[in-house]
């Protein structure tokens, strides 16, 4: 831990500047900066159940978990921490639910922070492993659990120093609940065989049990490309235009809406009719591409589309969560880079509930076939929805294990 803290403090000027410039670029506000740098103190008057989520995907899990745990602990104050302003926008605070940006993992800052929020348990969503946070919780006999545990390829490829830190830290976690056997093996390889670890399943399968009908913001038939990453928009739009489908619109919802300028700079704007959601531009009969660069409208876009391409998979990013689209019974298309969801992708492909393409040049053919055949779209969509329904109770198993940890305290 000494080496870790020394390295962290040497990086302090860089980390401060990164927080400040990141907040300016994303318009996160002064509160984000002050809380991330530990310069504000949370004002809480009782013990909390603390759930930490990094960004939007993890925050959706946190909110689903909160909804279940709140039924078990109706008088308890829940405290959700995140690291992005976009994730905060999903959280509606109340007397029994508070949000805060997690401070950087400086030892004294985290020690003061944990003393102020008085957690009965620390629930970490998926991949956020902060050594000082875990060490201080352990020293204060605060139970720690990772739920829906997974390790990124970046973590698995880390240098020896970082891996040594994980070997010291991971055994201090009371329970690691993994989403798959593969992830369990990854944790064991990183932290040793003495971990308290189990496979509970992917909680995201039960995240979409209740589907609320949303307004359709698009006034014509459309296909959706969601959570796209840099260069994917160009590839997808290029193949879409080759399909020469004038009666159907392509809607592109980038993973990071603030990338609008970069997306437009990659496109031949003089040859394409584009409308942009954030600029309130109308969709006309001649509009070919609609850029949905807003936050909070993805569910409605998925619900009313013909089928979905899920981004982060045409480029080497590892893929994004496609389970929400599956819960709506949509045909799902992904690219070859789905290593963030290996187990789930294999199951969906095996059960004819997903289409995987080898490269972007295959997209034109897939677009044309799906647009021509409603029966084909319904086949893939129905199979996807059946998988979701078969796993809807996974969240209850997570809640039971969390209850056991809280009782132990």
Residue range 353-395, pLDDT digits in tens? 999 999 999 999 999 999 999 999 999 999 999 999 999 899 9
- Contacts of residue 349, Cβ cutoff 8 Å, sequence gap at least 6: 356
Over residues 68-91, mean pLDDT: 94
Averaged pLDDT score across all residues of the chain: 93
pLDDT of residue 71: 95
Total-model pTM: 0.82
Are 317 and 310 within 8 A, CB to CB?
A: no
In which region does residue 254 sit, left (phi positive, over 0), alpha (psi from -120 to 50) or beta (all else)?
beta
Predicted confidence at residue 139, as pLDDT, reads 96
Q: Name the token pair of 259.
A: 């990338």
Q: Which domains does the chain have, with CATH numbers?
A: 27-207+393-408 (3.40.50.11720), 222-390 (3.40.50.2000)
Burial class (CB within 10 angstroms; exposed 0-12, middle 13-18, buried 19+) of 46: exposed
* Both tokens assigned to 7: 């390295």
Q: How far is residue 338's CA from residue 340's CA, in Å, rounded to a whole number?
A: 6
> pLDDT by residue (tens digit) across 191-245?
878 899 999 999 999 887 666 678 899 989 999 999 999 999 999 999 999 988 8
| Cβ atoms of 290 and 274 closer than 8 Å | yes
Q: How many whole angstroms separate alpha carbon 356 and alpha carbon 343?
A: 14
Contact residues for 369 (Cβ-Cβ < 8 A; gap 6+): 376
Query: Which tokens hold the place of 403?
Result: 């209850």
The label of the residue with tokens 């060490």 reads 135
Q: Using one digit for the tens of pLDDT, what is the confidence trace for 137-194?
A: 999 999 999 999 998 878 888 888 888 888 999 999 999 999 999 999 999 988 878 8
The closest of 318, 301, 319 to 310, measured between CA atoms, is 319
Q: Residue 103 and residue 33: Cα distance in Å, rounded? A: 9
- What number of other Cβ atoms are within 10 A of residue 143's Cβ? 21
pLDDT at 134 over 50: yes
């Amino acid at each position: 831990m000494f080496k870790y803290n020394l390295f962290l403090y040497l990086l302090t000027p860089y980390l401060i500047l990164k927080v400040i410039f990141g907040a300016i670029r994303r318009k996160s506000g002064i509160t984000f900066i002050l809380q991330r740098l530990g310069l504000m103190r949370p004002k809480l008057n009782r013990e909390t159940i603390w759930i930490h989520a990094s960004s939007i995907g993890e925050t959706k899990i946190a909110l689903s978990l909160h909804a279940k745990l709140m039924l078990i602990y109706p008088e308890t104050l829940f405290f959700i921490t995140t690291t992005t302003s976009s994730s905060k926008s999903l959280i509606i605070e109340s007397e029994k639910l508070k949000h805060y940006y997690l401070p950087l993992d400086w030892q004294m800052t985290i020690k003061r922070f944990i003393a102020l929020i008085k957690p009965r348990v620390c629930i970490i969503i998926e991949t956020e492993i902060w050594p000082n946070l875990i060490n201080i919780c352990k020293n204060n006999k605060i139970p720690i659990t990772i739920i829906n545990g997974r390790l990124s390829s970046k973590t698995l490829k880390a240098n020896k120093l970082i891996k040594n830190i994980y070997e010291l830290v991971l055994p201090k976690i009371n329970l690691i609940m993994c989403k798959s056997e593969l992830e369990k093996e990854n944790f064991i390889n990183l932290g040793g065989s003495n971990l308290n670890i189990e496979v509970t399943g992917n909680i995201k399968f039960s995240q979409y049990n209740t589907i609320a009908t949303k307004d359709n913001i698009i006034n014509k038939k459309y296909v959706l490309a969601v959570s796209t990453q840099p260069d994917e928009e160009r590839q997808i739009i290029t193949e879409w235009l080759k399909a020469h489908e004038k009666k159907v619109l392509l809607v592109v919802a980038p993973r990071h809406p603030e990338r609008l300028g970069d997306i437009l700079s990659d496109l031949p704007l003089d040859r394409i009719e584009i409308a942009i959601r954030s600029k309130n531009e109308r969709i006309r009969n001649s509009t070919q591409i609609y850029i949905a660069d807003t936050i909070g409208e993805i569910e409605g876009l998925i619900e009313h589309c013909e089928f979905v391409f899920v981004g982060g998979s045409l480029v080497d990013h590892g893929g994004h969560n496609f389970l929400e689209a599956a819960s709506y019974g949509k045909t799902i298309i992904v690219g070859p880079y789905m290593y963030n969801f290996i187990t789930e992708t294999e199951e969906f492909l095996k059960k004819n509930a997903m289409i995987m393409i080898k490269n972007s040049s295959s997209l034109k053919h897939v677009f044309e076939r799906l647009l021509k055949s409603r029966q084909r779209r319904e086949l893939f969509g129905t199979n996807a929805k059946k998988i979701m329904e078969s796993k809807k109770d996974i969240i209850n198993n997570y809640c039971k294990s969390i209850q056991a940890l809280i009782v132990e305290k």
